[in-house]
Amino acid sequence: MNEMKGIEQGILAQESWALAVEGVIALIIGFLILFWPPAVVSITIVVGAFAFVWGIFALVSSIKGDKGRRWVLILEGVCGTILGLILLAWPGKSTLVIM
Find all residues with CB under 8 Å of 52, minimum gap 6, and list them. 80, 81, 83, 84, 85, 88
26, 31, 34, 36 alpha-carbon torsion, rounded to 10°: -110
The chain-wide mean pLDDT, for the chain, equals 80
Max mean pLDDT range (13-22, 29-38, 52-61) = 52-61
How crowded is residue 50: how many other Cβ atoms within 10 Å of its Cβ? 18
Q: What is the pLDDT of residues 12-32, one digit of tens each?
A: 556 677 778 878 888 887 887
Give the start-to-end residue ranges of the domains of the chain.
28-98
- Find the radius of gyration of the CA atoms of the chain: 16
pTM for this one?
Answer: 0.64
